[in-house]
Amino acid sequence: MKYVHYGDIHTNIADEIDKNNNLPFINEIYKEYDELKLDDVIVADASEDYKGIADAAVIISNLPYTIIAGLHTIALRPTSLIKGYFLYHIFKTENFKRFGYKIGTGLKVFGISYNNLAKYKVYYPQEIEEQEKIIGILSNLTNSINLHERKCEELALIKKALLQELFPKKDEIKPEVRYKNFSDAWEQRRLGEGTIKIGDGLHGTPKYSTNGDVQFINGNNLINGKVVVTSETKKVTSSEQSKDDKELNQNTILMSINGTIGSLAWYRNENLMLGKSVAYIEVSKFDKKFVYTYLQTDKVKYYFMNSLTGTTIKNLGLKAIRETPLLIPNIEEQQKIGSFFQHLDSLIALHQRKLEKLKQLKKFLLQNMFI
């Protein structure tokens, strides 16, 4: 017997449930619960935030075992007028989510009762065939999203493994895997030895300007190798920029050093002013792609975590960054390793962009295929 808990729905362990689901088996016998069947919908009636109110799952295939709806769930068995899989998609729409926000109750844990859930007015095509066509479109899109998610996860695991193999492990002076014709031991150096300068941004608050054309960024703007500007990112005028802000260049790596530690981004000629939670590293004597990759290794991350200062909010100091211990091969091997990981990062980014576009398409269809 398997058991659908509301937490399983919120974490997507229970979503579109088929025989390959990861729900746990249980040993207890719950005679008071009805067995769920194909096309039944299970709704979470409790959530720790409003976004999760009435999250839903649906049984999409016949299962070779008994499955029941458990703690803090509402089980729905649609009539012959509407497919449960269609109803499941209705529960994913923004219209329904807004309904949930309005009717949800509670302070720390938000809930929705069956009686309140039943108040939602559902619109659906009278022809089952039309419902099935809509289900088919969205199901195919979901399968494509799942495929790209798995691909992104696989590439991330491959990258993690290669970071361990192409860089020396603790107490080693050579990596496990080498490019052909490279066999020399790597040399112990400090990050500061291969850079022109390492610094950070403004320790204070600049004068913001809605008419400014300079983005004032902090560590949370560094995402997946890029500077990501959002609607919440403040702007300043060029007069607020420091000399160092204006001298950022193609050899500059940006890194978060306050709160979130070690997020990286390349500087790509954006018009920026750095806040105190961003460090800039201008690479000179080492290969910049190699350094960018090295900063992502477990060995360097461990060094950073053991170099933090502060109590409530942790901070990585500039001295610690300059003294980051590195093992460095000759420049040719650096270039090969750096270029390889840049290509791998580009491949990961490509799949992430495809994944994001598919998610945006699904969101658009949910908004426009339902009333």
47 and 113 co-located in one domain: yes
Max CA distance (Å), the chain: 73
Residues 252 and 136 grouped into a single domain: no
Strands 226-227 and 325-328: unpaired
Contact status, residue 369 vs residue 134, Cβ threshold 8 Å:
yes
The whole-number pLDDT of residue 225 equals 94
Domain termination residue (choose one: 100, 124, 148) = 124
| Contacts of the segment 304-311: beta carbons below 8 A, 24+ positions apart | 304/261, 304/262, 305/261, 308/261
Please, which residues bridge with residue 281 across strands? 198, 253
Check which CATH number belongs to the domain holding 248 and give it: 3.90.220.20
**pLDDT the model gives residue 66:** 87
Query: Is the domain of 219 the same as that of 314?
Result: yes
223 and 158, same structural domain?
no
198 and 299 assigned to the same domain = yes
* Residue-level pLDDT at 217: 96
**Structural domain that includes position 32:** 2-124
Considering the domain architecture, whether residues 162 and 194 belong to the same structural domain is answered as no
> Is 321 in the same domain as 200?
yes
CATH of the domain at 143: 1.10.287.1120
Which pTM was predicted? Answer: 0.84
Domain boundary, last residue among 109, 124, 139: 124
Assign residue 26 the CATH number of its domain: 3.90.220
Q: Which residues of the chain have pLDDT under 50?
A: none
What pLDDT score does 21 carry? 86
Predicted pLDDT of residue 96: 92
345 and 289 in a single domain? The answer is no
List all residues 6 or more positions away from 358 whose beta carbon is below 8 Å from its beta carbon: 141, 144, 145, 148
How many domains are there within the chain?
3
Q: What is the pLDDT of residues 134-159, one digit of tens each?
A: 999 999 999 999 999 999 999 999 99
Distances (CA, A) of 335 to 281, 331, 340: 18, 6, 8
Q: Write down which residue in 124, 151, 169 finishes a domain.
A: 124
226 lies in the same domain as 307? yes
For position 219, what pLDDT does the model report? 95
Classify the C-alpha dihedral 69-72-77-78 as positive or negative.
negative
Is the same domain home to 206 and 266?
yes
User: Quick one: pLDDT at residue 371?
Assistant: 85
> What's the per-residue H, E or C state across 111-142?
ECCHHHHCCCCCCCCCCHHHHHHHHHHHHHHH
Q: Are both 250 and 266 inside the same structural domain?
A: yes
Same structural domain, 298 and 200: yes
CA 79 – CA 214 distance, rounded (Å):
58
